[in-house]
Chain A
């Protein structure tokens, strides 16, 4: 797999046009790693001069901050900013809406200002510019796909249309859930919930959301976030529909249709 590190490029006296921030889920979670690989495949197919930080990358601090541990967040943030500024990084793309939000909105307060793009927007731009060419009559033509809004893309950053435009490029039949865009229901993982059991209640949030997604009759649930991926996949399994309905990231859908 061609995934140069920024250090590799620096050794050759080069800098990447864009840094791909992989994130912890994209680096360690087996399911999310497949999304990382799919996205790298697209970057290579398009011929973009990109690089990753490799082992120099560290957690943005998002879950620590949202769980209330501001010290830990700022330690992580400042270390990351030192690394990014050290390599004079200007532009960052990431497949994780949580990393995206933190680096874009919160790092500037601590001295790290970059152009940060989520991969949904990045893919949409590549499609619009004609740089990504999808197969005629691809695997998803006419298939029902529903898109689950990530809170950290949607409400947190007002990105609602880019992921939908990416899906439309697949010629798929995009069906919406009742709760979508500004009223999209959370998968249940945000705010550091990913790292603990839910509080006592009647139901798990991801099951509620999976039921709604399954109710559309879609055979693919598209997501744009590694945490949504985990939650929706578990929700679909809970309803014993994993054989018929697949949860996939935008990057995987595009990579499969190249």
Chain B
């Protein structure tokens, strides 16, 4: 019997591992569909950002209540995964609580700590569900939060609650079984799950064994399934946040990335540099599709967990404009996933006639941005929707000449009068004649 369980377990682990690996490779390939950009400078600062913002969750604490609840889930996730290690070893070797004899008196302490964390996770998830579905906090209900993003969030929270319940039920039945069979190693009193013991006490031993085994399998298969699900979900931030905070922009937020291709051309035009012997085909100016964005913008899209802090602080969105920085990130990821799916089927990939600009994001949205950086400041994991908006504007302005008419007039004024308004450059110094 035990050997069958071992074989089934190793089989499950292998299948899950295979699918998770495939998804990881797909996401990696998707991200590198973006434009090459070398980000290897200032490693200490990058590491510092990763430790403070991803590991330390510094920016989350701008909003204390969700920060504390999120912190419970985060710590729970990190620590309870240590317990999963024991699950995996037990599953492969066909043992039961293999670490207990080795850890001695530490084992009950550790298991109790896991239980308290599991309870904290459970409580936080329940409160989060209430915030989303009962209190209907506005940022979870804005326009881009259509049925799938809302379901995604609820699925994650419900799954986490179910996984935690499985731990408690498993530990409760295990504690009863410890009094009935030598196979069940003494764990000492597990404080929280012992409250469930009276409910299970009446059950006969074989039922309890079944419950214990069911919960064990439910928990481990649940975790494996959840890991695979995460790769399709907004929840991927649990891994990507670390990468994104490391690779995020370090310059002042007001800085806009230079376009060296343009610099070369402008230098030639101004006679500051000789024309290149063989003019290089510059590709597209700005971005029309996700493949025109830098890979780190695409990484950022996978790091977004759709919390909506950006949108809730966006002045354009607050005053009823169509722009929502969260939607910019969601659209970028959705488009990238669409391309990835097509590539998996050996389809046309990015050459399917669809584009990020137009099919996902409209000009009305990108034109409404004031570049105020409120979204960038608000993001707990340093996502920068502004970079994407600007790349799209660059495409519209330079490839399509499709900017709003008043912007085209402003361009013309700068070109002819060296000011955004139509004044004579000769009058620029007239202010000095006042008084």
Q: CB within 8 Å of B: which residues of A?
A: 1, 3, 5, 22, 24, 26-29, 33, 36-37, 40, 52, 54-55, 57-59, 61, 63-72, 74-76, 78-79, 101, 104-106, 109-110, 151-152, 155-158, 182-183, 185-186, 188-205, 208-209
Contact = CB atoms under 8 A, between A and B. Distances in A.
A11 to B, nearest CB: 16
Give the interface size bracket for B toward A: 35 or more
B130 to A, nearest CB: 26
Given A186-B372, A199-B367, 12 more contacts: A1-B432, A61-B414, A63-B414, A109-B263, A156-B254, A157-B252, A195-B407, A195-B409, A196-B407, A199-B321, A201-B316, A203-B320
Interface stretch (B83-91, B120-128, B392-400): B392-400
A209 B262 CA distance: 37
14 contacts: A1-B434, A37-B431, A37-B434, A59-B420, A67-B410, A105-B254, A155-B254, A185-B315, A197-B406, A198-B319, A202-B319, A202-B320, A205-B315, A208-B319
Contacts of B407: 67, 192, 195-196
Nearest to A199: B368
Given A155-B372, A183-B374, A27 B397 contact: no
Given A68-B286, A201-B320, A76 B414 contact: yes
Interface of B: 251-256, 258-259, 262-263, 265-267, 269-270, 272, 285-286, 313, 315-316, 318-323, 364, 367-374, 376-378, 390, 392-398, 403-404, 406-407, 409-411, 414-415, 418-421, 423, 425-435
B427 to A, nearest CB: 7
B320 A78 contact: no
A71 B265 CA distance: 9
Contacts of B322: 199-200
A199 B270 contact: no
Contacts of B263: 74, 109-110
A185 B435 CA distance: 35
A110 B273 CA distance: 13
A83 B181 CA distance: 89
Contacts of B428: 22, 27-28, 54-55, 57
